[in-house]
Structure formats: C-alpha cells, structure tokens
Chains A and B, each alone.
Chain A
Amino acid sequence: MKISKIEIKDFHQFKDLTIDLTYPKGHAKEGQPLSKVCFIGQSGTGKTSILELIPKFLYNYDTQLIEKSNYDLNLENIEITVVFGNKNEYESKIRFNSHKGNREYLSGWEWGENKHANEEVNYEIVADFLDNKWINGTSTKPIYFPANLNFDMEIKMGDSLIDTEIIDFSTQKVALVWNLILEKVKKYQEKELQIRQELSKIVEQYSDNLDIIRTELKKLEDWKEREFNPIKDIADHCLDELLLPFKLKVKTELDIKIKDDIGFIKLVDVAKKEIPDSLWSTGTKQVVLSAMPLYLLKPNHTIILFDEPERSLYPDMQRFIVEYYSSFTKKCQFIYATHSPIIASNFEPWEIVELKFNEAGKIYRELYYDGENHINNYKWNPRYMRWDDILQRIFDMESDGSPARKQKLDELAMNNVKFKKLKQAGKEDSDEAKSILKNISHLSKDLSQWDLKNYAKD
C-alpha cells in the first residue's frame, strides 16, 4: 500500500493543505506514488503528526501520540488517498466521518471513492481484494520507527512482537525482532556445539593421528560452509557494512561457555573482543536497531515510517543510510521526517515535502518548481547540491556559518572597503592603511581564507 495524496482542510496548524505524493510529469513513473518521501520543516510544522496520522487512517491504528491526543482529534477534515495492488491498480480515499452514512466502515472509518483500474467500483470489491489477497497475502505490515527508538536490548526467549495492525516501535522494543530468528540461531549453535564436542573427543582419542584430526576438522568446515548461519547472514548482508565506521563487527563465532545465553546479537571490536551491550554507543544502537528489523521483517509492498533517521548518526553515515534501508525492502514506500540536510540530499526534489508556516501560523508546502509540476521545472535537486547549498536553499539557513563567522565576514568586508578607499585616495602607505591590512590578514586567517578573493573567483 502506498499513499498518493494527503488532503487536510482543517486540522490544528494545517489549513487547506494538499500534499501530492506522486511522481511529476516527465518522470518515467508519472502519476505513480513516490517510493520515498522526505518531510522537512521547522519543529512544530507537523511532520511527526503526519507520520502518526498515517497508521490511523490506513489501519485505524493509534500510535502512542494519537492515543494520547485522541480526545482532541478532529479527523473529519483529513483525507488520505492510497493505492495498492501489484500495479497500484486499486485506489481508495480514506476518511473519518462524524456522522454515519451508508458506506460506513468501522465506526466512521470510511474507504470511499474506490477505484480499480481507474474505474469506480463498490467498496466490497476493494475490501475483498484487501482482506483476502493484499493485506493477508502480498503486503506485509507497515513499520513505524519513531524518533526515540527504544534501545532496551533485554529480551527473553519466547518474547515476540505484539500482533497489531502495524509494527509500531513507539510501543514495542525493537530488539524483539531478534526473536524472529532466535530459534534458528539456537538450532545452528547447538548443532555446531555438538560437532565441536564430537571433534574434541576424536582429538583426544586420536591425538597422534593428524590425518584423522584433519578429516574431522574438514567435516566441521564443510558443515559451516553448507549450513545457513543466520548470524553470519545478518553480518554479511545487513550489519557489518554499517558497523565498519565504528570499527565493530557482528560476532559470528560460537562462544561455547555461554551457549544457553544467546541473548541479543553480539558485537566484537577489531581485536575480536566482545563489546557488552551496555557499552554500545548510541550510534551503534541506532544502526543495529533500525537496519536489523528491516532486514529480518523483509517488508513488501508496504509503508515504512521513519522519524528522524539521522539520530545519533555521524554525517558520513547519513549520506547512504536511506539507500541502505531501501535495499532491504521490496516495492515499499518510505516516509521520512528529518532535520538533516544530509538525509535530504538522498532525495529527488519532488520527493521532498517542505512544510512551512505562513504569516497566519498555518502550514503550507513550499513548492520547488515554477509553473507546471514537471521534472524540468524544478529549480534545484538536493542530490546534486553541496551540503551548504542545501542548508541555504532548502533549509533556508541565512548564513554559511555561525553568527561569529558572519560578524568576522562583515568586519573583513569593512576593512577591505576602507583599504580600497584609502588606495583610491593615494594613501595606501599611510599608517591607517597598514593597520587595516594587518586586520585583513588576521581576519583572513580566522576565516580559514576559503571565502576570500581566490575562492570567490572559482
């Protein structure tokens, strides 16, 4: 399922806001829902609210935020258009009605204006497809990663994700996904232990016969090569690449002493020394606990909501994390909310929804195109821009550095102008001019010289 449009007539700070989430004209996927969306905007512009309203409309599911504010919600003025099916051939407009009409579905939760292959159809046709083929067949559950992920990694054997309409990590521990493969891990480790124990006996018994020992060792190696190792699989295909900047790896070797306490995934440093969970950095926790669920849950044809994916991540990692997450999923729609220009640089301009306050304090979407919504009419593309350019053009940052830098630049400009005026008056050798030149030299040094004449002529 994917969202193609959000219309909010009146809801808190939103007024007459329409957010089109389809590819623009001139794009190969023109009119199709976007595969990834990035909400940006000042705090308070409602990015998280929109993220949390999506499960409410699509699955009538209350996230923590919605549940807490339930009595204040006035959802009648919101409509969300969704498309689904392998070719996005089904479409419905979802709304909540305060009054009960003929097409009522679950206490005012209504799926209206239903279409199949662009033809209007009855709700029953859509519902039949949704219930019998789509939601319980092709499409997996939506996943919500809130900004404050639960980093608690204490889990018990048998604990599992609560069976709700969506996988909501605002209410559940992310580490619970580990139990999806814990049985497999345990079986693998028990088998390995059994082989090693047999090997030990043989080594003891035939300590003077190297050929026999080599043969048995080869058997172990062959088994390891043949047998699917769930931990090595996660290491190779999901986590090790992400952990590289932290100089860490997933521990894939069996530790016989603690075989009954498999617990959560273990990490080792470059010296192969295990790092206790409690000593993992928040960045390490963030990458492990965000990437692993996507890898293990194998999302398919669903929506993944991700609030502030940049949390605790060093800028170099923010560069590729969005593509990395996408690589674990099939035909999904990612909806991010971020404050990071580096995260934003992973998106085409039509994938960015910038929310801003107007003079009346209401929210509008800043459009990045002039005239018609066509790929050729977009003014800039964050994917090809420098970080500082994104900060200034997209995030509206006024200056290219701190207020202190701005002040130094003003001082430098003033000294440059004063010196030129003295030079024009033939006073470049005066004491005043020399003093100004000295100031210029100091200021230039303070400003790392990059913004001076040579740079300006680049």
Chain B
Amino acid sequence: MQKIDKTADKILSTKYKSWLDKLIEENTIHDGRYCYYYDDIVMNLFKCQSGVCTYTEMYICPTELYANGNWTKGRYKIPDNAEYKRIDHLGELEHLDAEDKKLHYWNWDNLFMIHAKINSIKSDAVLVPYLKPDLEDYFPEKYFDYDDETHRFIPNTDIEDPIITKEIQNMIDKVLYLNHGVVRNERRDYINVIRDKRERGEPYVIDRFFTSIKWTL
C-alpha cells in the first residue's frame, strides 16, 4: 500500500473543498444523500492515488479520467463525447473510519478509492489507524516486507512486537487483500513483464503495484 499525498495543494476540486471547509467550520453533520460533488471527489482521489486501488495498487482508473484538463473553475466535468465515461473505472469510495462516515460522509481525509471487488469481499472490516496511507509517518517499508519469490506481502520482519506483527498480517489478509490470489497473480505477472523489459533494455512505464515494484527492481 503506497503512501498517498492528499494535502491541500493536490486538490483540484476546489469548489468541493470550499463546501467541505464550510461544513467543518459550522460543524455540520452530512450523510451520503447529497451527491453533488461525487465525481469531484472520486476523480480527485484517483489523481492523488495515480489511478490505483489504495490497498492493492491494482490499476482501476484510466489516466484520461483524472487528467488536469477535466477540471474547470474548481469543478470536475468531462465532455459527453469523451472516450471514457465518468463510470469507466473499477473503484468504490472507501471510508476508513466507520464512525466518521456516519457523521461526515464527504470528509476528504477519510476517503479513498479502492477496487470494488476488494470492497465487496472485505465487507465492514476496518484498517488499523496507523496504516492510514496519507499519514505523515506512514511509509510502506515501515510495516511491510515483500518477498519477490512467492510474491507475497508480509509484516516487516524487523518488527519485534508479535502483537503488531499479527495485526499487520491480519490487515494484509482481511482488509488490504494484498495476497489475494488474483491480486498476487496480477502483481507477479506485472513485475515479471517489467523485469523482462528492463533486461532487454526496452522502455517501460510503471503505472501500478508501485510498492512491490520499488522493492523488487
């Protein structure tokens, strides 16, 4: 799970941000019924996440959908005749803090995009707070290791506290689904393709599985 930068200067959906700031200032409770800024949030999240699932880093959104040109005067809008439609992605909104979701549904800090299938199988399991990927002191290397033979993520073997190790293993298995069969196979295949291209000296672009690629190449 890569580190994600969602700081203010990454927000192109400024109209949404102003609206949210006002809600926060007035301490207003908001739920999911008001969907006016839905696309603004989703596409800006994809921009911050480089189009991949927050947890698995699988590619779930084409770059065309979150290109800078899709924002005008702080609002997200793509032309009706664009090649990709606004729903042409595989992501779903994930609220990391379930309690915050009840009171502040559209809270930017609590929102991430994850693969719809992962969202479906993880059900209501929640991420431990210290693994929130936009925290200042979150770095994947701090909590995880990657074995490029089995292509599995494991808790960092340098962590001495067995309770923390067990907790991270549980996150890998039951929330992040980093070693889910399909995720693992796609990651392994992708890494092998990049490796082969490097060996042959061919050009390549890395657009997914950033964390494992960084550790294996």
Residues of A within 8 A of B (CB): 356, 359, 370-371, 388-389, 391-393, 396-400, 406, 409-410, 412-414, 416-418, 421, 451-453, 456-457
Contact B149–A452 (Cβ < 8 Å): yes
Within 8 A of A (CB), among B131-164: 145-154, 157-158
Which residues from A are CB-within-8-Å of B151? 456
Which residues from A are CB-within-8-Å of B150? 409, 412-413, 416, 451-452, 456
Closest A residue, CB atoms, query B90: A370
Interface pairs (14), CB distance under 8 Å: A356-B120, A359-B124, A392-B180, A392-B181, A398-B181, A409-B179, A413-B145, A413-B153, A413-B154, A416-B150, A417-B157, A456-B148, A456-B149, A457-B192
The CA-CA distance from A415 to B48 in the complex, in Å, is: 34
Task: For residue A52, give the distance in angstroms from its CB to the closest CB of chain B.
Answer: 27
Residue of A397, A413, A453 touching B181 (CB-CB under 8 A): A397
Residue of B154, B180, B185 touching A417 (CB-CB under 8 A): B154
Contact A371–B88 (Cβ < 8 Å): yes
Task: For residue A377, give the distance in angstroms from its CB to the closest CB of chain B.
Answer: 10
Which residues from A are CB-within-8-Å of B120? 356
Contact B154–A456 (Cβ < 8 Å): no
The CA-CA distance from A157 to B147 in the complex, in Å, is: 69
Residue of A370, A409, A456 touching B188 (CB-CB under 8 A): A456
The CA-CA distance from A87 to B90 in the complex, in Å, is: 38
> Interface extent on B, as a size class?
20 to 34
Residue of A396, A406, A418 touching B157 (CB-CB under 8 A): A418
Contact B88–A413 (Cβ < 8 Å): no
The CA-CA distance from A413 to B154 in the complex, in Å, is: 7
Contact A456–B88 (Cβ < 8 Å): no
The CA-CA distance from A414 to B153 in the complex, in Å, is: 9
The CA-CA distance from A410 to B177 in the complex, in Å, is: 13
Which residues from A are CB-within-8-Å of B185? 389, 392
Which residues from B are CB-within-8-Å of A406? 179
Which residues from B are CB-within-8-Å of A397? 181
**B35 CB–A CB distance under 8 Å:** no
The CA-CA distance from A457 to B180 in the complex, in Å, is: 19
Which residues from B are CB-within-8-Å of A418? 157
Residue of A371, A389, A396 touching B85 (CB-CB under 8 A): A371
Contact B157–A370 (Cβ < 8 Å): no
Task: For residue A394, give the distance in angstroms from its CB to the closest CB of chain B.
Answer: 10
Which residues from A are CB-within-8-Å of B153? 413
Task: Return the 4 tightest CB-CB contacts between A and B, nearest first.
Answer: A413-B147, A392-B181, A413-B152, A416-B147
The CA-CA distance from A391 to B182 in the complex, in Å, is: 10
Closest A residue, CB atoms, query B123: A359
The CA-CA distance from A414 to B185 in the complex, in Å, is: 18
Contact with A along B166-187 (1 / 0, CB 8 A): 0001000000010111100100
Which residues from B are CB-within-8-Å of A453? 149
**B121 CB–A CB distance under 8 Å:** yes
Residue of B149, B169, B180 touching A410 (CB-CB under 8 A): B169
Which residues from A are CB-within-8-Å of B85? 371
Contact A396–B147 (Cβ < 8 Å): no
Which residues from A are CB-within-8-Å of B158? 421
Q: Given A413-B152, A456-B149, do A392 and B182 touch, yes or no (CB 8 Å)? A: yes
Task: For residue B214, give the distance in angstroms from its CB to the closest CB of chain A.
Answer: 15
Contact A399–B157 (Cβ < 8 Å): no
Contact B149–A409 (Cβ < 8 Å): no
Q: Given A371-B88, A418-B157, A456-B188, do A398 and B177 touch, yes or no (CB 8 Å)? A: yes
Contact B88–A370 (Cβ < 8 Å): yes
Q: Given A371-B85, A413-B150, A451-B150, do A393 and B157 touch, yes or no (CB 8 Å)? A: no
Contact B154–A414 (Cβ < 8 Å): yes
Which residues from B are CB-within-8-Å of A409? 150, 152, 179
Which residues from B are CB-within-8-Å of A398? 121, 177, 180-181
Which residues from A are CB-within-8-Å of B121? 396, 398
Which residues from B are CB-within-8-Å of A456? 148-151, 188, 192
The CA-CA distance from A410 to B85 in the complex, in Å, is: 40
Task: For residue B36, give the distance in angstroms from its CB to the closest CB of chain A.
Answer: 23
Which residues from B are CB-within-8-Å of A410? 152, 154, 169, 179
Closest B residue, CB atoms, query A409: B150
Contact B88–A417 (Cβ < 8 Å): no
The CA-CA distance from A410 to B155 in the complex, in Å, is: 10
Contact with A along B188-208 (1 / 0, CB 8 A): 100010000000000000000
Task: For residue A458, give the distance in angstroms from its CB to the closest CB of chain B.
Answer: 8
The CA-CA distance from A414 to B169 in the complex, in Å, is: 11
Closest B residue, CB atoms, query A452: B149
Which residues from B are CB-within-8-Å of A400? 181
The CA-CA distance from A451 to B149 in the complex, in Å, is: 8
The CA-CA distance from A391 to B181 in the complex, in Å, is: 9
User: With A396-B117, A456-B151 given, can you name 4 additional A-B contacts, CB distance below 8 Å?
Assistant: A359-B124, A398-B180, A399-B180, A406-B179
Closest A residue, CB atoms, query B116: A366
The CA-CA distance from A421 to B146 in the complex, in Å, is: 11
The CA-CA distance from A356 to B117 in the complex, in Å, is: 11
Closest B residue, CB atoms, query A454: B149
The CA-CA distance from A230 to B125 in the complex, in Å, is: 61
The CA-CA distance from A398 to B179 in the complex, in Å, is: 8
The CA-CA distance from A72 to B179 in the complex, in Å, is: 44
Most buried by B among A359, A409, A412, A456: A456
Contact A414–B180 (Cβ < 8 Å): no
The CA-CA distance from A277 to B123 in the complex, in Å, is: 49
Q: Given A359-B123, A414-B157, A456-B188, do A393 and B182 touch, yes or no (CB 8 Å)? A: yes
Contact B157–A421 (Cβ < 8 Å): yes
The CA-CA distance from A453 to B145 in the complex, in Å, is: 17
The CA-CA distance from A294 to B179 in the complex, in Å, is: 45
Task: For residue A98, give the distance in angstroms from its CB to the closest CB of chain B.
Answer: 32
Which residues from B are CB-within-8-Å of A371? 85, 88
Contact A417–B147 (Cβ < 8 Å): yes
Task: For residue B124, give the distance in angstroms from its CB to the closest CB of chain A.
Answer: 8
Closest B residue, CB atoms, query A398: B180
Which residues from A are CB-within-8-Å of B90? 370
Which residues from B are CB-within-8-Å of A396? 117, 121
The CA-CA distance from A238 to B152 in the complex, in Å, is: 48
Closest B residue, CB atoms, query A371: B88
